[in-house]
Amino acid sequence: MSSTWIGVLLLVATVVVQGQDPGSVQTPTAFTKGQTTNLHLTKGEIIDFDKRITEVGATFGINSTFICQTPGLYAFTYYGLTEQDWELWVEMYKNDELIASIYGYTYADYADAGNAAIVHLDAGDKVYLKAHDDYDQTLYGQGNEVYTTFTGELLYADNVELDAVNAYGAVGFSGVMTMNASISDGSAVIYDKVITNLGNGYDATTGTFTAPVEGTYVFHFHALSHSDEEAWLELFHNSQYVVASYGYTVGSYADAGNSVLLHLKKGDTVKVKARPGTDVKLYGDSDEYYTTFSGALLSPTLHGSGHNSQQEIAFSVGLTHNEASTNGPKVVFDRVYVNLGQALNVNTGVFTAPVSGIYAFHYHVLAQQGKEAWVELYHNYKYINSLYGHTSGSYGPGGNSATLELVAGDTVFLDIQHHDSFLYGGGDEVYSTFSGYLLAPTASHHPVVG
């Protein structure tokens, strides 16, 4: 090729890159894998899921190992349900680095566990789920009972034009607790090891996240109690109670978590504290990361830089009263944290996508004492995945996530009509939540005006 042609090509390439709005540079990447049969794992095995629920721009290597193509900030969530009377012990790795662990076991019962991590990935980095090296295990799954899932979302790509990871205000953190903690005075949980701290919002000495910029943020927190102890945690926005998680299992360790979206002003704080008046005993070790706290700013391009190319669509709601399937087929939440774009109908519990795009959903519940909660996520009338919460003699936590590719007008909701379900909630006991947000709009089926 002649040097003139190379010069012309370079010129064209430069013009194309400079002509792009930094807010639109990202290549959507999102996936959710699920398991539709019982899955027996031998020690150290990388999980190979049998169902692709969503796969947009995602590449996989050995078994279900995600391989990053687009450098940027990613969120990963995973959930598992044991087969009856089995243990589950699954770890999430970024390359060779442990980033989260889950453990579940309930005598003569099924046990639900989940965790999350927010990490920055470079091209070629891998994220995967692995059975712990010491345990063979069996996870439960059926065609219409998908509890065991693995979800990854590109929150936003690095900005190649600005040549910096967070030149436009990207914020994301993940902290994990590597020590055992016994908290009886209602103080904050200290996640002492920092996995990610883009934007430097998280302080590992106090366990506090301080918003570096105003915007809508997503948070996830998970914990494992010591055997026969409680994991009862509450997330606070400044001094205001937001949501909680509760786990207690007779004769075993208990896993519980929650997620929420909040609109924060610059300088607002978010932290996770132990329930006052309760002895909370959390499990942590240098190579066991059950107790985690992570969060990220959604849609940073909407804040500050003026590149306002995309409408912000995000909702997060919670339940402040007991709810049962006898009251109706869908879960209708009564406390609204965020409903940007008003896409969630708070009277029916149904989300309707205002624009075509890739969306992420997270849901959690706590079953009433001794009772069951079976909650199913639907896309229009198509079953996606579920949670099952039941712990003999105690309250049963459960959770799940999915990314979905929606066409404008598609609906997403939580359904409890197929089984008897009893969800627990109170004014300052919000364990059951439903959150969702637009990750990236996709080419519309009708012209976009504006």
Ligand X SMILES: *[C@@H]1O[C@H](CO)[C@@H](O)[C@H](O)[C@H]1NC(C)=O
Residues in contact with ligand X by the rule CB under 6 A? 45-46, 48, 62-63, 179-180, 285
Residue 247, judged by CB atoms within 10 A of its CB (0-12, 13-18, 19+), counts as: buried
Q: How far is the CB of 184 from ligand X (least distance, A)?
A: 17
Give whichever of 60 and 236 is closer to ligand X, judged by the CB atom: 60
Residue type, 280: V
Q: Which residues contact 20 (CB under 8 A, 6 or more apart)?
A: 161
Distance in Å, CB of 318 to ligand X, minimum: 32
Q: Rounded to the nearest whole angstrom, what is the least distance from the CB of residue 37 to ligand X in the complex?
A: 11
Comparing CB distances to ligand X, the nearer of 285 and 420 is 285
For ligand X, the closer CB: 128 or 156: 128
Q: Of 288, 180, 176, which is closest to residue 231 (Cα–Cα)? A: 180
Dihedral class, residue 95 (left if φ above 0, else alpha if ψ from -120 to 50, else beta) = left
Minimum distance, C-beta of residue 288 to ligand X, in the bound complex (Å) = 8
Cβ–Cβ under 8 Å, residues 373 and 367 = yes
| 408 SS3 class | coil
Residue nearer to ligand X on the CB measure, 63 or 208: 63
Smallest gap, in angstroms, from Cβ of residue 209 to ligand X?
A: 24
Q: CB nearer to ligand X: give 181 or 298.
A: 181
Nearer to ligand X, 13 or 179 (CB): 179
Nearest to 341 by CA among 253, 422, 436: 436
Q: Which of 257, 102, 262 minimizes the C-alpha distance to 171?
A: 262
Nearer to ligand X, 93 or 241 (CB): 93
Kindly report the number of other CB atoms within 10 A of residue 407's CB atom: 13
For residues 21 and 228, which CB has a smaller minimum distance to ligand X in the complex? 228
Give the Cβ contact number of residue 379 at 10 Å: 21
CB of 33 to ligand X, least distance (A): 13
Toward ligand X, which CB reaches closer, 180 or 206? Answer: 180
User: By the 8 A CB rule, do 364 and 258 touch?
Assistant: yes
Residue nearer to ligand X on the CB measure, 274 or 367: 274
Q: What span, in angstroms and rounded, lies between the C-alpha atoms of 310 and 398?
A: 33
Q: How far is the CB of 435 from ligand X (least distance, A)?
A: 32
Q: What single-letter DSSP state applies at residue 141? A: -
The least distance separating ligand X from the CB of residue 286, rounded to whole angstroms, comes to 6
**Residue of 228, 231, 222 whose CA lies nearest to 182:** 231
Contact between 216 and 316 (Cβ < 8 Å): no
Beta carbon of residue 105, minimum distance to ligand X (angstroms, whole number): 15
Q: Which residues pair with 91 in a beta bridge?
A: 101, 130
CB of 152 to ligand X, least distance (A): 18
* DSSP letter string, 287-335: TB--SEEEEEES-GGGSSS----S---EEEEE--S-EEGGG-SB----E
Q: How far is the CB of 179 from ligand X (least distance, A)?
A: 5
Please say which residue, 63 or 269, places its beta carbon nearer to ligand X.
Answer: 63
434: burial class by Cβ within 10 Å (0-12, 13-18, 19+)? buried
CB of 285 to ligand X, least distance (A): 4
Beta bridge partners of 245: 233
The pairing of strands 66-67 and 59-60 is: antiparallel
In 78-122, which residue ranges form alpha helices assigned H by DSSP? Answer: none
Output 45 or 112, the one with its CB closest to ligand X: 45
Q: How far apart are CA 442 and CA 243, in angstroms?
A: 32
